[in-house]
Amino acid sequence: MTIAALIVAAGRGLRAGGDVPKQYRGLAGIPVLARAIRALAAHPDIATITVVLHADDDARFQRIIGPHVGGISLTTCHGGKERSDSVAAGLACIRGQGADHVLIHDAARPLVDLALVSRVIDAMRKTGAAAPAIPVTDTLWQGSKGTVAGVVPRDGLFRAQTPQGFRLDLILQAHQMLQGAATDDVSAARAAGHEVAIVEGSTRNIKITGPDDFALAENLLGKDMDIRTGNGFDVHAFTEGDHVTLCGVRIAHDRALSGHSDADVAMHAVTDALYGALGAGDIGQWFPPSDAQWKGAASDIFLRHAVEMVAERGFAISNIDCTIICETPKIGPHAQDMRENLARILGIDTDRISVKATTSEKLGFTGRKEGIAALATATLVKT
């Protein structure tokens, strides 16, 4: 059995508030959709992942989601007006990928866990169609004009969740036969005459719909949150030259910084802060100055390595704070460019990055204009 995962993310999600669709909004530092992708990618039985996007969201997906799912093999396609249209488009994309079973998941359920996914897969193997659900425990009322008009028996009632799993040929046929729209894929399968097994859902597997759901999801994540903080400090002396490079930004100056690489003292501090938060040593350990291949190297090589290590160890970068200590050059006019350059490399928004400068009041080596120092702090959150 070869299983493909299909994540439906083509909706606009406006009820959740914010100025972007809910699947692109951050949840404890990581976009909702990225969390859903990571959750399914972590399951060893899932071979491929396809994400169905709105036709206007290709660039947004690459900018917001791409940096958070590095190393995961993804394909994307465009959805339609209704959810069932988007699922049909995704199934057509998956059809040529060699899978014979599919898990269809809502992007708005970012907290799905591996145990739930395994339960769906096990039942799908036996029956061809399975979905998770939670029994309804609350009393259900019928209402009319703002008053209770009756009570609905709750026996046999369930709250549906995703991912919903199917033999690929079964659900393809169901969507081809579908007349009108379906609220979920179980509805499509049943309309085609197929039975669907119910497996135990999870109270953590909430669907983010409104603004309050973001707060609930944050609270659920906070119960087992792992937060790490690291510091980085670096110093480079001035030498002859006509520019310095700080946070990857070239700044004209009457001196240059001396170092084995490009001597980007600020980026070195940020890199060491990330390594420090992971307990993973420092730049010198990973890129020894005794190794000639790093002579003159651009410091973003070091920073990208640290970023990859953060992702590999299951963390996300929450924020970076970098202070550059020097008398000259002036940092303020270039600080925004530095933030934007770091944001591209780190894969986080610029509002999570601070780059600022101070002098040492003409004291010490920086006060004597002998060099530049930088201090950085990084905060990581377990995903």
For 313-324, the pLDDT digits (tens) are 888 899 999 999
Token pair recorded at residue 367: 């006060």
CB count within 10 Å of CB 97 equals 14
C-alpha closest to that of 20 among 49, 50, 61, 51? 61
Please give the domain boundaries of the chain with CATH numbers for all domains.
Answer: 3-222 (3.90.550.10), 227-382 (3.30.1330.50)
CA distance 217 to 27: 8
pLDDT at 16: 56
pLDDT at 281: 93
Residues forming beta bridges with residue 5, ordered by sequence position: 49, 103
pLDDT-flagged residues of the chain (< 50)? none
318 with 352: CB under 8 angstroms?
yes
For 207-239, the pLDDT digits (tens) are 998 888 888 888 888 756 688 999 999 999 999
pLDDT at 223: 59
pLDDT at 203: 92
pLDDT at 196: 95
pLDDT at 180: 78
Tokens 């859902």 locate to: 201
pLDDT at 66: 83
User: pTM here?
Assistant: 0.63
pLDDT at 13: 63
pLDDT at 158: 94
pLDDT at 18: 64
